[in-house]
Amino acid sequence: MIFLNALPLNAINLQHFCADVRRVDAEFLRFLVREAKSINAEIISYIRHEATLNLLNKIFNLNLVSSPGLYQWRENDEIIVITLKRGIILDPHDVELEDLEIFHVHISEVCY
């Protein structure tokens, strides 16, 4: 499971691909996190915004830290894009679940 703050299309190393992007709610994300944990899936974050990381860790019982590298897509990645609805929030105590937009992304070589 990969947490991103944006979907970098140049990270997808396919000549042709489709991206299925769906806005999801916190309950769906909670389900995905539980599912990932149940199979001991690797959970990596490329989100560098401390307040967002703190909120995700608190709400979804995660231990996310920001990966220093750049994301490079791998087949079967479960991609979650988390963005802020109102720009940068500096104070970690000011970010609430309602401030987040949550997207589930599936990359495929086959377009429907």
- CATH number reported for the structural domain that contains residue 36 in this entry: 3.40.50.11170
Q: Identify the three-state secondary structure at position 63.
A: coil
Domain range for 93 is 2-108
- Measure the CA–CA gap between 99 and 112, rounded to whole angstroms: 32
Quote helix, strand, coil % in the chain, to nearest 5. Answer: 25, 25, 50
Sorting pLDDT into bands at 50, 70 and 90, what band is 103?
Answer: very high
Q: Provide the domain count of the chain.
A: 1
Q: Read off the pLDDT of residues 38-96 as tens digits, 9 standing for 90 and up.
A: 999 999 999 988 888 999 999 999 999 988 889 999 998 999 999 988 766 666 667 88
Sorting pLDDT into bands at 50, 70 and 90, what band is 109?
Answer: confident
